[in-house]
Amino acid sequence: MVSPLPGVRPSLPASWYFDPEHYRRELEAVWYRDWVCVGRTDSLQREGDYFTARIGDQNVIVTLGPGAALRAWHNTCRHRGSLLCKEAHGHFRNGRIICPYHTWTYSLDGRLVATPGRLEADDFAAGGYSLYAVHVDTWKGFVFVNLSDAPREGLDDFLGDEKAHLENWPLDDMRSVHQAIYSVACNWKLFWENYSECYHCPRLHPELCKIMPVYKKAVFKASDLPGWEPADDNDNGYGRVSANAETWTMDGKSTLPPLPGLTDAERQAGVAFTSIQGSMFVVGHPDYARSVRIVPTGPERIELVVDWLLPSDLANVDSDTIERITGLAERVIRQDSEACELNQRGLHSSRFEHGVLVPQEYMLWDFHQWLRARLVESKPL
């Protein structure tokens, strides 16, 4: 288990959080090379259903093709580069993707099949103008794409040990029952850093601290505290919900049946996390799950896409249940978003070159080292 820093460490340069040229470097080094979650398979129910997703300044289409196979392409026509799909979700009628500009038409496997009104030319070969394919894969119902020509590793290796934290959650058979999208005026790294520490929790999150007592101590894990010893064989050091709570709701209580397949220790803990460095985290509870995707839309702005997941047989729950499972997280997100926006504004001070990380912010240090390595791999500093 990772330990707190033995002392203080410098944080990243302030300019890395707002400089447009550096933002472009990070897009190329991280977002355009790594696997990035763009949605859920449960949003594609029949052949021809599609959704679009943004990654930096790139836009992709994900669709359910023949044989229920997922396909993904850049959202651009091979004729003159027009956007093919304007809507976030839709259905390709008759299995055809039709450009809204000049009506070039593609099949659901990306082949160019028609160019209505085009004057014939002997040197035109339709086979050379298929859509630009994007690598696509899934994990537990989440759809990931990779924009690089040749990913450095497959999705399974990319997720690594993190995927094991929610291995027992039936995420494959869960559906999004509520989605919220938040626009936050901060750099993508700031929100990830905020997620990676609980130094701020006692001041910003009083409601959450009532549910998770360890957060009152300004640490993310109980094992971060001096002299910590496991309470029993099931104590992994992450901390548990309070003695009178079951899950993450405003009162800690649940009106939902427990998810099947969880161990006694997982139910007693009340929470588990899978974190995909910089871009996404999934939170599992005994009765529901939640995913949070960070979508960079500029050097100083992100979108947060948050989905609350329930088993497919509970997908039509009433509004009171939705409000119950979303209430605490929505409050925490608002609190975190306000803090990150204040942080973003303060970074523009002409005197502030970089900050300092204290011992319980060791996961930020790990993140910064990871990012530096990604930038070196992409282009020399």
pLDDT tens digits for range 247-266? 999 999 999 999 999 999 99
Which residues on adjacent β-strands are paired with residue 70? 64
Gap between the Cα atoms of 248 and 97, Å rounded = 42
Contact between 354 and 10 under an 8 Å Cβ cutoff? The reply is: yes
pLDDT category of residue 167 using cuts at 50, 70 and 90 = very high
Which residues on adjacent β-strands are paired with residue 275? 281
Gap between the Cα atoms of 325 and 307, Å rounded = 11
Q: Which residue ranges does the chain devote to CATH 3.90.380.10?
A: 1-18+168-381
Number of Cβ within 10 Å of residue 381's Cβ equals: 7
pLDDT category of residue 174 using cuts at 50, 70 and 90 = very high
Q: Which of 108-117, 150-159, 218-227, 293-302 has the lowest mean pLDDT?
A: 218-227
pLDDT category of residue 2 using cuts at 50, 70 and 90 = low
pLDDT at residue 315 in the model: 82
Tokens standing for 51? 């959704």
pLDDT at 231 over 80: no
Arithmetic mean of pLDDT, 195-222? 96
Q: Which residue ranges does the chain devote to CATH 2.102.10.10?
A: 32-163
> Under CATH, which architecture does the 1-18+168-381 domain have?
Alpha-Beta Complex (3.90)
pLDDT at residue 15 in the model: 98
pLDDT at residue 380 in the model: 47
pLDDT at residue 381 in the model: 37
Arithmetic mean of pLDDT, 233-250? 86
pLDDT category of residue 226 using cuts at 50, 70 and 90 = confident
337-379 per-position pLDDT tens digit = 999 999 999 999 999 999 999 999 999 999 999 999 999 987 6
Arithmetic mean of pLDDT, 71-98? 97
pLDDT at residue 216 in the model: 96
Residue 56 or 232, more confident: 56
Tokens standing for 21? 């040229």
120-140 per-position pLDDT tens digit = 999 999 999 999 999 999 999
Contact between 295 and 302 under an 8 Å Cβ cutoff? The reply is: yes
Q: Which of 174-178, 187-191, 205-209, 312-316 has the lowest mean pLDDT?
A: 312-316
φ and ψ of 303, to 5 deg: -110, 140
Share of the chain above pLDDT 90, in %: 90
pLDDT at residue 143 in the model: 98
DSSP track, 144-155: EEE-SSS-SS-H
CATH class of 32-163: mainly beta
Q: Contacts for 265-271 with beta carbons within 8 Å, 24 or more apart? A: 265/234, 265/236, 266/168, 268/234, 268/240, 269/236, 269/238, 269/239, 269/240, 269/241, 270/211, 270/240, 270/241, 270/245, 270/246, 271/212, 271/238, 271/240, 271/241, 271/247
Which residues on adjacent β-strands are paired with residue 289? 284, 309
Please, which residues have CB within 8 angstroms of residue 113's CB and are 6 or more apart in sequence? 96, 105, 106, 107, 126
DSSP track, 239-276: ----TT--SSSTTS---SPPPTT--HHHHHH--EEEEE
pLDDT at 229 over 90: no
